[in-house]
Amino acid sequence: MSISDPGALAAPPLESLTPRQIVTELDRYIVGQDAAKRSVAIALRNRWRRQQLEPRIAEEILPKNILMIGPTGVGKTEIARRLSRLARAPFIKVEASKFTEVGYVGRDVESIVRDLTEIAVVLVKEERRATVRETAAKRTEDRLLALLVPSTPSSATLVAESDRDPLTDTREKFRERLASGALDEREVEIEVQESSFPSLEMVTPQGVEEVGINLKDMVPGLFGRRQRKRVKVREAREIVEREETEKLIDPQQVSRDARERVEQSGIVFLDELDKVAGREQGGRGPDVSREGVQRDLLPIVEGTTVTTKYGPVRSDHILFIAAGAFHVARPSDLIPELQGRFPIRVELDSLSENDFVRILTEPQNALTRQYSALLSTEGVTLTFSESAVAAIARLAVEVNDRTENIGARRLATLLERLLEEVSFEATEMDGVELEVDEAMVQRTLRGVAEDQDLSRYVL
């Protein structure tokens, strides 16, 4: 069975996607877990529905947060990540276990919203850069031409005596050469402004948090100095185009749009929620801050205003998708207030051998496609037979049963071990066509998989 590259397809706009179509889009990358896909598809569509309502009504409709329950490696994180790309929304994945109760060493839960706002700023800036790219490129070209063909006092006299400006003719000729790349190796002298400024960080009981203070405004004479530098035209084009792009972007408008994007469409994936599940008993031991973390998370999930360096951000309409294996703790071990903020609960199924076969062949980002693409850069044509894929899936199930069940992540470990020799020798295999068959899988992996002690360390 040959694994071909289907090509990357652009996701359709959110407003045109029905819940069924959202599930279909997720099916392109994730195998199974239909219940979880349906839940997130409804949540995403409800966001669009809410945006169509009058502000008075929309303000009262809060998102229905989702709690995914299932073992590791079954697709919880991937579902949330693909959903955010589909929605083109600010998305952040955080582990609940790295937060601690106020008063203990660790990160403050409000940093979730601050980090999400930073991500939104990057998204908005990228969109703005795309809209001003043509204008910035034209301005860049004009500035480079002014450096390559500078004006002289004599040119003004010539223009006064003649209807035709010889400097303009020269610049037009240089413009054609500049566009063709013929002048890329020529050196020019440009002014370069310091683009990075020191950020101020403050050590708080909750950890190190960045303080939104612009030192450039506080000490204007110390930062932002310009210096002259000789560089090649290729490098000068990048520097000048970056400066021209930033001039065309209003930072205050970016901040406003980013805050609104977070408030209206932000998605937080809160992983390992089961690690902070549990009630305090006696207030001692390593679990002393578990309930405290839950109580600190509660205002963020319920809806509060968090101060960021871009302005205040409300978390009322941010969608929270929590996940956890809940092997030891149970969802009922969470404090009641937090349980009530995750009304939709979805159990994800453990992966079977047939699921592993589908994971290796069906998704657009299947591991078999990835390895084929990587080795094609060395001139090696790599294919996998159906029997080889079935053998890899069978071994993944066996190793997961014997050691620790890490779900689909086991496939990456097995494939890396299987193709280790090929990857090492690929530089000397230009033009070779290699088919991975069942015999190769058995020869390479069977011995390691059967040795339980060895498989714990190797696989």
Q: Residue 143 has what pLDDT?
A: 78
As a whole number of angstroms, the distance between CA 163 and CA 142 comes to: 22
Q: Which of 197, 221, 256 is the last residue of a domain?
A: 256
- Do 145 and 235 lie in one domain? The reply is yes
- Do 163 and 274 lie in one domain? The reply is no
Question: Would you say residue 243 lies in a domain?
Answer: yes
Q: Residue 241 has what pLDDT?
A: 82
Q: Residue 390 has what pLDDT?
A: 92
Q: Residue 206 has what pLDDT?
A: 40
Residue 104 Cα distances to 108, 201, 423, 445, angstroms: 10, 18, 47, 46
Kindly report the CATH number assigned to the domain that includes residue 70: 3.40.50.300
Enter the pTM of the model: 0.74
Domain that holds residue 225: 131-256
- Do 279 and 239 lie in one domain? The reply is no
Q: Which of 318, 347, 376 is the last residue of a domain?
A: 347
Question: Would you say residue 18 lies in a domain?
Answer: yes
The structural domain count of the chain equals: 3
Q: Residue 216 has what pLDDT?
A: 54
- Do 172 and 82 lie in one domain? The reply is no
DSSP string across 52-86: TS-HHHHTT-----EEEE--TTSSHHHHHHHHHHH
Which phi-psi region, left, alpha or beta, contains residue 19 (left: φ > 0; alpha: ψ -120 to 50)?
alpha
- Do 242 and 281 lie in one domain? The reply is no
Q: Residue 357 has what pLDDT?
A: 92
Question: Would you say residue 5 lies in a domain?
Answer: no
DSSP string across 206-269: TEEEEE---HHHHSTTTS--EEEEEEEHHHHHHHHHHHHHHHTS-HHHHHHHHHHHHHHH-EEE
pLDDT tens across the length of the chain (459 residues): 433 333 334 445 556 688 898 898 888 888 888 888 998 889 888 888 888 889 899 888 888 899 998 888 888 888 878 887 887 788 888 888 777 554 454 567 888 999 999 999 999 999 888 888 888 888 877 777 777 777 665 544 544 444 555 666 676 777 777 777 777 677 777 776 655 545 555 544 444 445 444 555 555 555 556 667 777 777 777 788 888 888 888 889 999 999 999 998 898 989 888 888 865 554 444 455 677 788 888 889 989 999 999 999 999 999 999 988 887 788 888 888 888 899 999 888 888 889 899 989 888 888 999 999 999 999 999 999 999 999 999 998 888 888 878 888 889 889 998 999 889 988 888 888 889 898 888 888 877 666 655 555 555
Q: In sequence order, what are the residues at sequence separation of 6 or more whose Cβ sits closer than 8 angstroms to the Cβ of residue 60?
A: none
- Do 389 and 295 lie in one domain? The reply is no
Q: Which of 282, 313, 347 is the last residue of a domain?
A: 347
Question: Would you say residue 124 lies in a domain?
Answer: no
Best CA proximity match to 86, nearest among 145, 156, 29: 29
Would you state the structure tokens that stand for residue 422, as one six-digit string? 């090929």
